[in-house]
Structure 1
């Protein structure tokens, strides 16, 4: 039976009594969740049901998938029955499991309903559960993984993922753009949906199809990660080579590198592996679109992920459009057979240029992403005074002393303790670091995971105190530190935190009652999805101070757009490097140096990160006319023409912008609708800088035709490399003061 110790948990997270009381398959011969990895091997044999089957999006998706060949056998509508699309509709997943014998379920319900739907599927022991919804509260996901850890029947893919698709088996459980895929022998696992579509498109154009594509998703915690997928690809007879698509956030890529290193040692003929990493230029203290795209304390950066994979023998590229050519080269060298399935001429359209890998990028100091979690800015990051007040309600007193004060006691023993999330363990954890120099970031950070439903164990607390070098502290100080951990956990759980942490020192004054600990520098931030999707903790989220957020980011948020201004180094009038100062959120951007920045408009967080990486690495190195991207902008996966017009307006608020680069890979997003939005922007916003547009994906030819007929100064491209060269040429002219030609 699943343990349940807190009366708050059921109340705060509406934990189902049915879920709490049910028993899962812990007594079978299987040992646990890892034994469900083989459930990822979907194909023609896979019987699929949909939860939320009769909804509009599920219906459209099911029609496409059935036409493509997916064996959808029915679906679930709570308390409903009958038929839909000529298939049976049942009132519960358990009933569907008994009557339809599905191998997998796709969950097509809104975020506030998704956790309950996943729980229902686990209870019914559906072998594969695919959750595509974004903005499921992270505490709901941790609770679900606490349940999954007690059983060995069900495997979760997602959430916030495009799903999983077998191109060979014509089985899609998700919303991947079907025209992009072709049957073949390359296995793909990706955090980013749009980057995975780019990868697939490049392979298909090169005549290399795909075997199995697993969407890991961009959330803080993934039900299936890189290592899980690699284990499937290793033994999958249809997979001859592997591609990993990673990004900043967490440690999954480094763990994949460790697995690959071991794999190459124990296998005589290892499958070739290539990878791309996004987020080299992610802004410290910002969430880059995906909920999990931020660098936590002690986690790797995009650069460290790149180096780890490269050192493990993985072939690295800087943009997924290169994968087609690269995979041909490394497969040819490996001698593996990739022509088992012949494709038509239309499927094997060759890329117009050869592709090569690139040297490892050097990230300039201005973009150094090594940042402490306490600088993280999510939608709710409490100020020090707000944090102090909230901590007091949990009987945690915060000292008025700080590490910068010369009167701070024992500043040489600055310890760090808190509660956060162990992403790979899929659990909450105690985070601890031994003493560090005052005003320096903690080093030797370590995580001590524990079960979400049980709370911090005595062993985890003891280990954390030992790592923080508090085990030898006076008895009272040690006891207070242990109590502090438990109180931080209570706050973390009840308010659905992402991190609740403090710094502390050990008092050494003489006298009864004087020893103990001083707590200071509180850092608290919380999951915005808990409020936005489920309406929980409204009083806490009402503390958000919009005046601390740049107006352009607030306007973007109001329109469902993620916008982050990039403060890249620019050349001043004396040719000395300077930086754009954006500390005052209410002030307009200051212009220093030439107007030579590149505004970016991209659909999808992963593709947006990768786009600014490529622009920076390629164009900032031009000694005569270096140029830089001005912003990160993710329109989201469901961009409309109106969204595109608004995006242009946001970009053009920045006086540094000399050219706009629209880089779209249409999955759910239609390229013709993007084209209409660009034309709308010219009419309504007034665009006076050159615009370069690269359209790929759904309705790409129609989109380019729409732009061509508009008669506007828009340079449209099919190929990413050609588009980047044109962007660089135009921005370079602006940097040299030559203006727009023609």
Structure 2
């Protein structure tokens, strides 16, 4: 397991000496200027093979040299995805205490290899990849690309998978006067270098943290593990710090990757609804939208016996103290110079094969499959997948293929990525499958199947390879059915690997609108399914709200909150992506309006790196160039929100503009229902 004592490396602040890898690049330079002006102690950086000076700070040719000469406590890695793994490995070898990797689309198998390295050392801790980073509002230390004006010094700790949802959370705390102590963006990748429990252990002992917020989403077990820790924490602590949370993806389409690489539930993993319930049962106060966190946390702090007025006064004093020490950069200067970090390739994670394609791949390795069949009481589930807790590959085994029972009966058997599954691991998996007493021929076939799946998993850079198997009592042989294979698309998108595998992608099996969106860097997923084949035409038509959102986590939560707050059903999930422009917004409208079910469009934007005025211009561009016949509701908060709201208000267009989510959601559902009545 990951070395426990590196958790302390997360406690950054005024003392933290930071270097940048990729220091002289455009994004790193802009970020460093903002962070230095904000108060972060950046002491230099690295440019491979080069020495010199940049921004008045030393530039060194290797991370090892930077570690020796600059004595950093942390490094921020600002390089593109295809360079990120090498940069992380160099930082591990130099034993830098905290490594923050922000790049999206780092191939999964590169990360698996990195964690295999991390598990053998005790010096370095990783945050990321695909993470906004870590920021101490009290200590004025930012290692990442978080929108600085949203943050304020205070006393609530935040740990989040989603960047945009964390910004909404932080803004709510800032408006409530509570501010933030430490905010850890663990990122939305399949494997996170730091998870919720790691963050909770920091917050538990942090004197600056009076309350805690978790921002989770579908995929993995981080939220369940957090609930287990919280349950124990509340038992052993006389005055536990109050904890609130939100879990995105309660309306996620099963099997779809919802924007973030890790936002999908593997076999044996809980749904977002189940995670919500588990956290609630552990004593966590759940909200359906992060806009509510400020008010909710105030109530929880008061109920826990803490002096809310004193906490607010302390947060205000922190802000005043900073203003008297240093000139505060203007909001505009912080953001007009900010561009998103490298986001190479199309926003897609996961290449799915048809059952016949998967069967052909197994056949090439001497494994024959039978025609796909409905699950039977005698069938077992076997998968090569990722154990997100152990941060390693694993064999997942379940003695049943019944979806209602798999979650409770599936068990993971993790192993080291560089070594592969041992004989003992495979025997343990066989025993859990209840095949340890099977005939020798069937047992040998099952072991060969596991070895073959591992070979394919490693060589083809898979996400998850799953089959069903059963014993044929008449011949004592093993029958393999229902192969379901999914591969890591980032290996091709970012690094150009697995081109032959990528060439086999069958676009005819995918929704044309989703494929078209992908080409434009937009993540678009139809809801509830890509076609009405699994639901009645009437039920399918009821999903009539088109959503246009910036950020995968916020897009998931928008769909969830429309349903939970107002009973509205969304026709789609749409994340405009980190490179959103006015043209992207227009293209998003085109995709949404192509769905004949849509009766109203909801544009829900929280401006972090994405600017509200740019989104407003995109909405106007869509109205000028498209024939929009449905009402449009626009909610703009965050960076440049006043400018964006003014653009909408002065446009003279039939737009409904709001800054609060609840009022906007109410109007959206009201308009959708009115349109349905007129259509009947």
Same fold (TM over 0.5): yes
Q: In the alignment, what sits opposite 1:671? A: 612
Q: In the alignment, what sits opposite 2:490? A: 529
Q: In the alignment, what sits opposite 2:258? A: 288
Where 1:657 maps in the other structure, the secondary structure is coil
Q: In the alignment, what sits opposite 2:500? A: 539
Alignment of 1:632 with 2:597, yes or no, is: no
Counterpart pick for 1:716 among 631, 642, 657: 657
Alignment of 1:699 with 2:616, yes or no, is: no
Alignment of 1:131 with 2:113, yes or no, is: no
Closer, same or farther: CA 297–47 of 1 in aligned 2, 3 Å: same
Alignment of 1:507 with 2:472, yes or no, is: yes
Aligned structure 1 segments of 4 or more residues deviating by more than 3 angstroms: 344-347, 402-405, 435-443, 589-596
Counterpart pick for 1:549 among 510, 518, 523: 510
Q: In the alignment, what sits opposite 2:666? A: 725
Q: In the alignment, what sits opposite 1:493? A: 458
Q: Say whether the 8 Å CA contact 1:598–1:731 is kept in structure 2.
A: yes
Shift in Å, 1:689: 1.4
Closer, same or farther: CA 524–463 of 1 in aligned 2, 3 Å: same
Q: In the alignment, what sits opposite 1:601? A: 548
User: 1:598-633 CA distances to partner (integer Å, 9 max, x unpaired)?
Assistant: 11000011111110111112332xxxxxx4211100
Counterpart mapping for 1:354-433 below 5 A: 379-400=350-371, 402-403=372-373, 413-433=378-398
Shift in Å, 1:678: 0.5
Shift in Å, 1:709: 2.2
CA distance in 2, matches of 1:495, 1:715: 49
**Worse-superposed segment, 723-732 or 191-200:** 723-732
CA distance in 2, matches of 1:618, 1:656: 21
CA distance in 1, matches of 2:651, 2:400: 63
Closer, same or farther: CA 593–183 of 1 in aligned 2, 3 Å: closer
Counterpart pick for 2:312 among 339, 361, 365: 339
CA distance in 1, matches of 2:124, 2:444: 41
Structure ID, larger Rg: 1
Shift in Å, 1:729: 2.2
Shift in Å, 1:437: 6.9
Closer, same or farther: CA 539–561 of 1 in aligned 2, 3 Å: same
CA distance in 2, matches of 1:729, 1:508: 60
Where 1:135 maps in the other structure, the secondary structure is coil
CA distance in 2, matches of 1:274, 1:206: 15
Q: Say whether the 8 Å CA contact 1:594–1:735 is kept in structure 2.
A: no
CA distance in 2, matches of 1:488, 1:476: 18
Where 2:678 maps in the other structure, the secondary structure is coil
Bigger proportion of residues as helix: 2
Return 5+ residue gaps in structure 1 as ranges.
1-30, 348-376, 406-410, 569-578, 621-626
Counterpart pick for 1:179 among 146, 149, 159: 149
Return 5+ residue gaps in structure 2 as ranges.
321-347
Q: Say whether the 8 Å CA contact 2:153–2:319 is kept in structure 1.
A: no
Q: Say whether the 8 Å CA contact 2:18–2:72 is kept in structure 1.
A: yes
Q: In the alignment, what sits opposite 2:164? A: 194
CA distance in 2, matches of 1:158, 1:345: 29
**Aligned residue pairs, count:** 650
RMSD: 2.4
Counterpart pick for 2:628 among 687, 709, 717: 687
Q: In the alignment, what sits opposite 2:418? A: 453
CA distance in 2, matches of 1:378, 1:313: 34
Shift in Å, 1:565: 1.0
Shift in Å, 1:436: 5.1
Counterpart pick for 2:601 among 642, 656, 660: 660
Q: In the alignment, what sits opposite 2:126? A: 156
Closer, same or farther: CA 436–697 of 1 in aligned 2, 3 Å: closer
CA distance in 2, matches of 1:195, 1:83: 37
CA distance in 2, matches of 1:616, 1:489: 41
CA distance in 2, matches of 1:690, 1:345: 44
Shift in Å, 1:335: 2.2
Shift in Å, 1:393: 2.1
Alignment of 1:618 with 2:565, yes or no, is: yes
Shift in Å, 1:662: 0.5
Q: Say whether the 8 Å CA contact 1:404–1:438 is kept in structure 2.
A: no
Shift in Å, 1:567: 3.0
Counterpart mapping for 1:301-312 below 5 A: 301-312=271-282
Q: Say whether the 8 Å CA contact 2:154–2:318 is kept in structure 1.
A: no
**Worse-superposed segment, 178-187 or 730-739:** 730-739
Where 1:520 maps in the other structure, the secondary structure is strand
Closer, same or farther: CA 92–685 of 1 in aligned 2, 3 Å: same
Normalised by the size of structure 1, how large is the TM-score? 0.84
Alignment of 1:271 with 2:241, yes or no, is: yes
Where 1:395 maps in the other structure, the secondary structure is coil
Q: Say whether the 8 Å CA contact 2:43–2:70 is kept in structure 1.
A: yes
